[in-house]
Each structure stands twice: as C-alpha cells, then as structure tokens.
Amino acid sequence: MGGPSTDAARRSLLLTAVSALFLAALSLLPANRAWLADVADYYARLPREWRAMDVTERLRARHHRNLAVLEYIGASLRPGDVFLLPPPEYVRRHFDPVYWNWCEPKYFYYMLGRWPTVTPDDPGADRATCTVTIDDRGRPVFQRLVGPADVERLRAAFRE
C-alpha cells in the first residue's frame, strides 16, 4: 500500500543512491582523484598552519604567485591611479595558467586594498592611468597609460 508520500520517498532515496554512485565514479577519474587528494592534504595541514603561521604567511602560502603579482602592482601604484585590469583570457594565455586569478575584478579589489579599477569593456576605461601586460617571457610588466589612445592600443593587445 504505497501512497504518494511513499513513492516520493522511494524516488528520493533512489536519486540519492544514483547521485552517490555518480560522485564515487567521478572521484575515480585520475584528475579528480588528484584534486581530491590535494583538497584532503590542504585540510589536513590547516590546523598545523593556523598554529605555526600568521595571517600574512598563510595568505602567501595559499596564493603564491597571485599574491606576488598583486604586491608588484601595489608597489607600482601611485595615489590617484586607476588600474586597467587585463581580461582573464589574456592573462591565462600569456601568464602561468594556474596563477591567473589576480586579474579577476573581485579578487584584485579585495587583495589589493580596494584600489580603483576598470576593465577594458568598462565605459569608463578611458580614465585608466596604468595596467599590467605580460612580456614575451611570461612576466608581468607595469605600464603607465597616457590617454585614451593607450587604452585602445591595450584593448587590441588584450584581444590578441
């Protein structure tokens, strides 16, 4: 005598079982297995890191080159600068593909102390005074911008 609530409960249980099997199968794929091992290792190290490292050391250990690029940019900025943030696609193509997060607007804004930024697609991008490009050797290079012509030149370079 299965009523509507019993059928719904069976469907829910079946869906839960199928989902669990699917997740177990996904965790057996080599890339996912490596990722899960990294996540488990990170959480195993976390209590020891909290005891042995201050906030700045943990930030540097966690964000490595993302933080190094932001520190480089921060040291080059002057009061009144508006930073033209390179698009993530450009940075992924020319920089280390693992450490490209520094150019994400929310990450940049939070990690660099809420510095004024614009993106190339922003209508106010012409007010940008500086940016970072990636040189032929994959290193960030800070550049000063002089007017809208520089911004247009960089928009074209970011699309390449």
User: For every one of its 160 residues, what pLDDT tens digit does the chain have, with 9 covering 90 and above?
Assistant: 556 678 888 999 999 999 999 888 888 888 888 888 888 888 888 788 778 888 778 777 777 888 888 889 999 999 999 999 999 888 888 887 777 778 888 888 888 888 899 999 889 889 999 999 988 888 899 999 998 899 899 888 888 7
Quick one: 94 and 126 in the same domain?
Answer: yes
Quick one: 77 and 31 in the same domain?
Answer: no
**What's the structural domain count of the chain?**
2
Round the CA-based radius of gyration of the chain to a whole number and report it: 23
Cα–Cα dist 15/13, whole Å: 5
Quick one: 20 and 70 in the same domain?
Answer: no
158 lies in which domain range? Answer: 65-160
DSSP 84: E
Quick one: 118 and 159 in the same domain?
Answer: yes
Q: What is the pTM of this model?
A: 0.65
Is 58 among the domain residues?
Answer: no
Quick one: 74 and 150 in the same domain?
Answer: yes
